[in-house]
Amino acid sequence: MLKNVLILVASAACALAQSQVRYGSYLGTDLFDTVVASAVDSRGNIWLTGYTSSDTFPVAGDAYRNTSGGGREIFLARIDPRRTGDEALTYATYIGGDGADEPTALAVDGDFVYVCGVTASSNFPLAGAAFQGVRGGDRDAFVLKLDPRVGGDSGLVYSTYLGGSRADGCNSLTVRNGLVYAAGYTNSETFPTSANAFQAAQVGNWDAWVAVLDMNRGSAPDTLVYSTRLGGELADAATAVTADAQGLIYVAGYTASAGFPVSPNAPQRAFRGVSDLFLVRINPAQSATIYSTLWGGSDNDVPTAIALDATGAAVVAGYSLSSDFPTTSGSAQASAAGRGDAFVMRVRLDPAVAEPILYSTLLGGSGGDVAQSVAVNAQNEVYVVGYTLSTDFPLRGESFQRSSGGVFDGFVARILPNAPVGTALSYTTYLGGAGQDTLASVTLTSACEITVSGFTSSPAGLAISGSAYQTGIKGFGDGWLQQINLCPRP
């Protein structure tokens, strides 16, 4: 899906010239491997998921599976950055069937790890009271829960297909109060929806979907607590989802449908481009959309990530090909700089708010730029990550890397939406070597530290620490990760 077209990176606190890479490592084999998502657990361990084309991916700890099932296989790995070399990889396992399997999202909640994605395997491993025990179409979404404390089959606590008779996939998931919130795309007329769905029937050739699963229920039908489509007469897909403490669901995605459902008081009700982004808030308990709006210009506008700030506003990041993408007064970059810029926006999805778009800005140079992941700290400082094709990407602060290293580089940025005009973009840097480098995920590890991860084909030029699990690239492309300390050195 469009989610994987490009990637942007934004995240920094103090000047990186005064900071240090606390940990950096490759993760891969002699073929092709990539990290698509990462998270940090309460013990400081870094969890990573991605896919590999190799049957020699390292396994460690009480692995669920020690061998590949064939085809493109999912891996799930845990790295302890306080350890050195081989000892740092404390858990690693294959997950998948005999077809192509790809993860897209990862969440950690307590001792459990959750992954969703898309599978073409008819024998994808299932566990628990799986809602759907058979693949419905050519490819289905999957959602799973794993306990890394338990090895073998027992480690897979819950796993299910989720799809209809054609093609379906999951793009995003989050966990709140023991419930799993997932979102993606479907062109299946028979995609499963719940009795309290906002939109039960297929409207266009592709619809977005949003689902809530309770994996602790003993009856398979009961595990799907809520499921609905979202869409109009053409193509729609949900690309990012999160939820608040009350169980309200916040969804971002893109639509090519002029008839996509919007609220009467939405800031943009009319469809403007080739595809517009949509932002929706749903209360599954009321079977109704509380708020829905479009946002975009005359071309393609695609969100890739969403997070909630301390005030309950949604922070959304993505990329825009529109030369007239709407920005707000005082934004860091008001107009497009090239053929495709990243964007970051802050929105209050509440019908009682007269001006829900609190902040909207572009971010990029003369090449292509895409934001892929976003995080927000307690002070509402926004951190974004992704990658850029621009050799003139706007640099701010004492950038760690002030020039592009290869074909495309990752980038890191920090944006302060409430800062005075001209100061909102407080820090940016390239991050990459001589090859192709992307950042797919950013996590706020602590008040002074971020964790980023993605893909690299660069054999040199990355800040890899001496204590790294893997100090060099092994294949055509590897996953990579870094923990960056953003506090000033003593």
Tens digits of per-residue pLDDT, 327-336?
999 999 999 9
Residue from 74, 62, 141 nearest 103 by CA: 74
What 8-state DSSP symbol labels residue 222?
G
Q: DSSP strand E in 189-313: where?
A: 207-213, 224-230, 236-243, 249-255, 276-283, 288-295, 301-308
What 8-state DSSP symbol labels residue 431?
E
Do 315 and 306 contact (CB within 8 A), yes or no? yes
Domain count, the chain: 1
Confidence of residue 19 (pLDDT cuts 50, 70, 90): low
Give the C-alpha separation, 446 to 325, whole Å. Answer: 34
Confidence of residue 154 (pLDDT cuts 50, 70, 90): very high
% of the chain surpassing 70 pLDDT: 95
Does residue 4 sit in helix, strand or coil?
A: helix
Residue 8 has pLDDT above 50, yes or no: no
Give the C-alpha separation, 355 to 466, whole Å. Answer: 50
Residue 295 has pLDDT above 80, yes or no: yes
Q: Mean pLDDT over residues 260-281, rounded?
A: 96
Give the C-alpha separation, 330 to 323, whole Å. Answer: 18
Q: For residue 278, is it within any domain?
A: yes
> Domain with 287 in it: what CATH number?
2.130.10.10
Q: Which residue has the tokens 């193509």?
A: 235
Residue from 217, 214, 75 nearest 148 by CA: 75
**Biggest CA-to-CA distance, the chain:** 60
Domain that holds residue 442: 5-485
Residue 103: how many CB atoms within 10 A of its CB?
Answer: 25
Do 242 and 181 contact (CB within 8 A), yes or no? yes
Do 135 and 161 contact (CB within 8 A), yes or no? yes
Residue from 248, 249, 274, 276 nearest 260 by CA: 276
Q: DSSP strand E in 46-126: where?
A: 46-52, 73-79, 89-95, 101-109, 112-119
Confidence of residue 70 (pLDDT cuts 50, 70, 90): confident
Angle (CA) 105-108-110 rounded to 5° is 165
Give the C-alpha separation, 29 to 478, whole Å. Answer: 7
The first and second tokens of residue 222, run together, are 């009961």
Q: Mean pLDDT over residues 453-476, rounded?
A: 95
The first and second tokens of residue 100, run together, are 């192509």
Q: For residue 470, is it within any domain?
A: yes
What 8-state DSSP symbol labels residue 349?
-
Residue from 149, 25, 40, 35 nearest 91 by CA: 149
Q: Which amino acid is at 103?
A: P
Q: Mean pLDDT over residues 323-329, rounded?
A: 96
What 8-state DSSP symbol labels residue 412?
E
The first and second tokens of residue 101, run together, are 């399997």
Q: 422: which residues sit within 8 A by CB, 6+ positions away?
A: none
Give the C-alpha separation, 439 to 441, whole Å. Answer: 6
Q: For residue 12, is it within any domain?
A: yes
Residue 135's Cβ-side half-sphere holds a number of Cα atoms within 13 Å equal to 22
Residue 7 has pLDDT above 50, yes or no: no
What is the predicted pLDDT for the residue at 2?
A: 33
Residue 194 has pLDDT above 70, yes or no: yes
pLDDT tens, 231-242? Answer: 999 999 999 999
The first and second tokens of residue 117, run together, are 């994605």
Q: For residue 490, is it within any domain?
A: no
Q: Which residues does residue 276 pair with via DSSP β-bridges, in sequence order?
A: 255
pLDDT tens, 331-389? Answer: 999 999 988 999 999 999 988 888 899 999 999 999 999 999 999 998 899 999 999 99
Residue 475, Cβ density class (10 Å: 0-12 exposed, 13-18 middle, ≥19 buried): middle
Please give the C-alpha separations between residue 409 and each of 140, 177, 434, 457, in angstroms, as whole numbers.
32, 37, 9, 11
Q: Mean pLDDT over residues 424-452, rounded?
A: 92
Q: Mean pLDDT over residues 396-403, rounded?
A: 87
Q: 113: which residues sit within 8 A by CB, 6+ positions away?
A: 47, 76, 106, 107, 145, 146, 147, 148
pLDDT tens, 240-257? Answer: 999 999 999 999 999 999
Please give the C-alpha separations between residue 35 and each of 85, 240, 464, in angstroms, as whole numbers.
19, 18, 16
Give the C-alpha separation, 366 to 196, whole Å. Answer: 47
What is the predicted pLDDT for the residue at 488?
A: 52
Q: For residue 265, is it within any domain?
A: yes
Angle (CA) 342-345-350 rounded to 5° is 150
What is the predicted pLDDT for the residue at 20?
A: 72
What is the predicted pLDDT for the residue at 399?
A: 84
% of the chain surpassing 90 pLDDT: 84
Higher pLDDT, 309 or 448: 309
Give this prediction's pTM.
0.94
Do 276 and 298 contact (CB within 8 A), yes or no? no
* DSSP for 143-180, written as a single string: EEEE-TTS-GGGGEEEEEEE--SSBEEEEEEEEETTEE
Higher pLDDT, 10 or 316: 316
What is the predicted pLDDT for the residue at 17?
A: 44
Give the C-alpha separation, 428 to 333, whole Å. Answer: 13
Higher pLDDT, 351 or 189: 189
For 18-42, letters b (16+ CB in 10 Å) and e give ebebbbbbbbbbebbbbbbbbbbbe
* Listed range (71-75, 105-109, 339-343, 420-424) with the worst mean pLDDT: 420-424
The first and second tokens of residue 149, run together, are 């404390």
State the average pLDDT for the chain: 92
